[in-house]
Structure formats: C-alpha cells, structure tokens
Structure 1
C-alpha cells in the first residue's frame, strides 16, 4: 500500500517521504483494518513529527491523526456488521496511508448523512471547540477573548459562542491575506502587528476583565491576555503557535485566575475510547445542521502530498483534503 512516512523527527516538509510499504496484517481479536478514504493536515501532525513529544513518538512513523475510512476487515470479537461501516479511526497517528489497523474501540461510527469531506474534519478542531465551550463557558459568561482568531478552531469557537449570545474579541497577528471568518461574530479584532495593540485590547475588554480566554498562541500575546483575565476568570491554554511558552512568573503571579491546560488527547484517551460515540454526538449534530464546517482549500492525492507540503500552492484558504486512494 501507499503511505507517507517520516523516518526521523524534523520539519514535516523535509522528513516526509512517500513509500510503497507492506499492507497491514490480518486483524487480531478486537481489531479492524480500515481502508482510509480521506485525511487532512493539522498543526498536531507537524508538532508530532518535529519530535516535540519524544517520550511517546517513535520513528519511522506515518502521521495523520484525523481522517475517515471504511472498515475493510474485522478480527474475532468484532461485530460482523462493522465491516463496510464508515468510521473515524482515532487513538493514534497513521491516517496518511491507504489502510490502518487498530482496535475496534477506537472507531467512531460516522452518520450516513455526513459526506466524507465533512466527516474527515470532525475530530480535532470541532471536538476541541465543542468540548472547551461546554467545559469552560457556563451561563453568565460574557467577556471572551480568542487568540489566533483567523484559525479554523477560532471560527468554531466564535460560532459556538454566538449561539450562546456571546460576541468574542479576537486577537490576530495581522498576516496579509488572513482574515477572520464571518466578521459579524466578533466584537472586535485586534492585530498585534499594529502599534498600540495592547492599549486597544484593554480598551475593548474594559475594566471588568476577561471572563474566559482561549489561547493557543502563548508568548507575549498569551501573557498579555492572561494579565487581562478577570479575578475568578478562566484562562484556557491549548496550543503554542508562537513557539514560546508562557513564563512561570506569568502563571504564578496571579492566584485569582483559574488556568486550564487543555489537551484534546487527555479527553479522548481517558478511558481507552469507550466514551467516544457520546463525545462526538454534539459534533455530528452540529455538522448535520451545517455548523462546525471546515472549508476545503486544496484537494491532493496521497501520491501528491509530499510535493504539496514542499511547495504549497498559494491562494488556497482552508484545509488540505487528502484523497487516500489516489
């Protein structure tokens, strides 16, 4: 079968190679083989391949945490009706290959009315957004700040917050060509590449401070938002796009702010996948009604993936959709 393989840690575009490798062995007890249909590229793939999680990453590896496929074969102990069922195969990387073998408990059934190009993106961003909003935004929350507001997950957060009557403040780098989706969902968008952005952010937030902050940037931007979080407010840190961690002094300087270090992996892996269907129920319901959708910016075959990562096409807003059967 065809697979995209990273032999060693490093920048994704530099260490990824396309190979013809042996297909998976016959599934053992409780296992299935999933014929992958579609996948995508996320920052989590780049971070993992970089070697940042060395204690739980071994090379060579096939990246890809998100995708959709069809159960092609099932081992003993798996219901016969599972064969032919579309699923999200979770719990491990390996979506950038034509077949993936895993335990059946990590397969989330996909509703029949969701097309592959929608179901493909159901995991990382929508599930993170839904889980964080449900966990950290109880009734009464009004003042919310979201960093990296042009990102796909920020779009989901703004959509879910708007549904609750909350119009968040967005913080962006001001990268040319990058804009927030649906500006009407944002009370204000502060660009950190403009002089005086800190003063404007403070003015927009007001003296009451931030009830809930969603930060996936860290560094100076994350620390500024942290300082503006209200007493008894919640600062949710769930990424590090800047590459610069929040300082210890920042996090320990205020005991009146609740700091939450959110990792989707902890939520998904807490009981070996037994709760996954319930976890995804609100995501699938949202997708079914046209919510939490991810725009496809570029479609590439698996055979073209490495070339695309090395020389990405300009002008494609949205995510890459990888066709795993071409």
Structure 2
C-alpha cells in the first residue's frame, strides 16, 4: 500500500466550491498496472476548468483545515444549473503528468524505475496507478518536465492537423497562435509543408512566432487586420479555422474574410455566395462570451464544430493514436517542447493568486506542479 495526497474539487448544491488535498491509499498494482510517483504535471486550461469550474474568482479564499490547505469559492447560480451531474462529487484534477515508476504488477516489471508520461485524470497527486500500455517512456535526452506535457497539447496539435487533412483543407488559420499549442502548430505545419496563418494580439507575440520560422503572422490589433487577412486567405486558399478564443466575433470575422477571398474568383455574382466550403473549429474557450456569427455575411457553404481531443482520439482509432504518440516521443524536445514560467508544489497550486494568474491565460504563463516540492 502506498499513501499520498490527491487534489479533488467538489461543488455543493448551494454552489460552494471546495478544492482539497485528500489522503489516499493506493493498492499494490496488479498484472499490467504500475504506480508512478508524480514529479511534474502542468496546469492546462482544461485542468483549471475541472479544478474551479465557473467559480467567481473574486470569491477565492484559502484556509487551513485540519492541517491541510483548502481552497473555497462560490459558483454563481446561472452556470450552476449546467453542473448537476458533478454536484457533490469529489472530482480528481489533472489531465496529464510524468514521474518515476515505483511499483509494478508482474506483467510490467520492465518499467520499474523508468520515467514515464501519462494521461488519464487524477494527476494532481503524489502517486497515480495506471495501466502500463497507457504510458509513454520519456526519452533519455528529455527531462521529466518535458514528459509532463507530452499528451494534451502535442496530441491536440497533431489531431487538428489530421482533421484538416482529412477534410482536404490546403491551408489553415489559427487564433491565439503564440500559445504553447499555437507554437507547436506552427512547427508541425512548417515541417509538413502546410500553409498556416497565425493570428496574435501584440507585437511581442508577432516576434515570438517569426523567431520560430512563421511566415504568416497577423496582429488582430492592426487597423487593417481584416484587409491583411483577406489578402492572405486569397494567397493561401486557407479554408479551415482553429479558434482557441471561442467567444465573441473573431471566428465569424475570419469566416467572412474567407468568403470575401473566395468571391474574388467568382465569374459572376451569386446571391448565395461562393461554393468554397469553410470550416470553423472551436478548440478553446479563452473568451467565455457567447460565440457570435453574422450569418448574412458568411455565404452559405460553411460549418462550425466544437473540437475536443478525446472525441478525436476515439474516432481516429488506436492505430492513429499510436502513430501520433510516437511522433510526440520522437520530437518531444523540438516540435513539442513546452516552456514553463514557474514550478510550484501541490499545496502551492491552491493559492488564489496563482489561480488568478493562470486564469488570465497570458502568453508565456504556463505553470508546472511538482508534488515532491510540497
């Protein structure tokens, strides 16, 4: 039996949120199971969503209960209605992580002492039991911190490219392009010969992307942004948009610019618009405002889809997932390198100031949790 802590998030019927570190006992691994001592696990936007949900951040409060830190907050009544399924349930937090194998079942002894990366929930903990086939060995030249982020962002980036290829899109547009995920997308597209239009919000983000080889970078703050975008869409024939912003009108603006680029090549006016199919994929929720689409400006050959990694992997099948995972391992410290702004202990991850900083989703603000640090 191995003992340790595990972070769990609970939302009560009255909207009270509590995030605590539970004492857990892990049974000996059976057959192909292993126990991993977690030494690195990142805070991704999806992790923060599970951790604090739609809580009002101004109500965050950290106390000490029975010698353990406890984070509390209040979830407003409106979003609480959509959370009925998780009310009262202590939800384990943390999608991915990495560490050292400290115990194995009889069919997995070859992994004892190895460093592995893994995905599957409940990673904000001291230890995690998991089946051996579900983990990836971390290459000798890579750090454990590298292995901590070898699933969510890398597989998302590869999955998005696979999706675009499957639909026959010749070029792609992405928003929030300076993020860790956006930089991976740029590196993949550069390597695979796919034209990628990167949309950012500042001069600093422009420079960051150009420094890693981006050819097409547009600043949405420029007064002539839409004109620049339309010209680039015309030049590249981009018809797929991966929008990590989610809320507001930017997705609609890009679809409209694609329609304007397509109309330039129509031999005659058609009141239904062009017949060039365009696809907007909503890949994130950096902006929680409603998605606004101006349908009268978009023509009639377009679609909007919410895209989620886990749904993609289920549909793609095990062979595709194995192929994508192998590419991640092969390019872990190059194409799929992640950069962290700071490392904190498991208890420190409950600090309100840290959560508020991560929630701002600023470029370059990526936090790594090392449970062995406290």
Settle same-fold status: TM greater than 0.5.
yes
Q: Flag the 1:207–1:250 CA change in 2: closer, same or farther, 3 A.
A: farther
Q: Distance in 2 between matches of 1:282 and 1:55?
A: 39
Q: Distance in 2 between matches of 1:63 and 1:239?
A: 19
Q: Which residue of 2 aligns with 1:83?
A: 112
Q: Distance in 1 between matches of 2:200 and 2:209?
A: 15
Q: Distance in 2 between matches of 1:318 and 1:179?
A: 17
Q: Distance in 2 between matches of 1:278 and 1:56?
A: 35
SS in 1 for 2:364: coil
Alignment equivalent of 1:110, drawn from 138, 145, 154: 138
SS in 2 for 1:243: strand
Distance apart, 1:260 and its partner CA: 4.8
Distance apart, 1:312 and its partner CA: 4.2
1:122 aligns with 2:150: yes
Q: Distance in 2 between matches of 1:142 and 1:310?
A: 39
What is the CA deviation profile of residues 192-232 of structure 1, one whole-angstrom value per residue up to 9, with x for unaligned ones?
34545333422443387523322122330011112334513
CA contact (8 A) 1:294 1:318 kept: no
Q: Flag the 1:73–1:255 CA change in 2: closer, same or farther, 3 A.
A: farther
1:183 aligns with 2:196: no
Q: Distance in 1 between matches of 2:315 and 2:99?
A: 24
Where does 1:200-211 land on structure 2 (aligned, <5 Å)? 200-206=228-234, 209-211=237-239
1:295 aligns with 2:339: yes
Q: Distance in 2 between matches of 1:73 and 1:250?
A: 57
Where does 1:147-226 land on structure 2 (aligned, <5 Å)? 147-174=175-202, 181-183=208-210, 185-206=213-234, 209-218=237-246, 219-226=248-255
Higher alpha-carbon deviation: 47-56 or 145-154: 47-56
Q: Which residue of 2 aligns with 1:238?
A: 283
TM-score by length of 1: 0.80
Q: Distance in 2 between matches of 1:265 and 1:163?
A: 25
Where does 1:311-326 land on structure 2 (aligned, <5 Å)? 312=357, 317-326=364-373
Distance apart, 1:269 and its partner CA: 4.5
Across the aligned residues of Structure 1 and Structure 2, the Cα RMSD in angstroms comes to 3.7
CA contact (8 A) 1:145 1:210 kept: yes
Q: Which residue of 1 aligns with 2:25?
A: 23
1:3 aligns with 2:6: yes
Q: Distance in 1 between matches of 2:131 and 2:125?
A: 17
Higher alpha-carbon deviation: 28-37 or 298-307: 28-37
Distance apart, 1:302 and its partner CA: 2.0
SS in 2 for 1:181: helix
What is the CA deviation profile of residues 267-305 of structure 1, one whole-angstrom value per residue up to 9, with x for unaligned ones?
3445997875433101111225x2221112112122322
SS in 1 for 2:331: helix
TM-score by length of 2: 0.71
Q: Flag the 1:248–1:202 CA change in 2: closer, same or farther, 3 A.
A: closer
Unaligned runs of 5+ in 2: 55-78, 263-275
User: Which has the larger Rg?
Assistant: 2
Alignment equivalent of 1:63, drawn from 93, 100, 115: 93
Higher alpha-carbon deviation: 115-124 or 273-282: 273-282
Q: Distance in 1 between matches of 2:139 and 2:314?
A: 22
CA contact (8 A) 1:158 1:167 kept: no
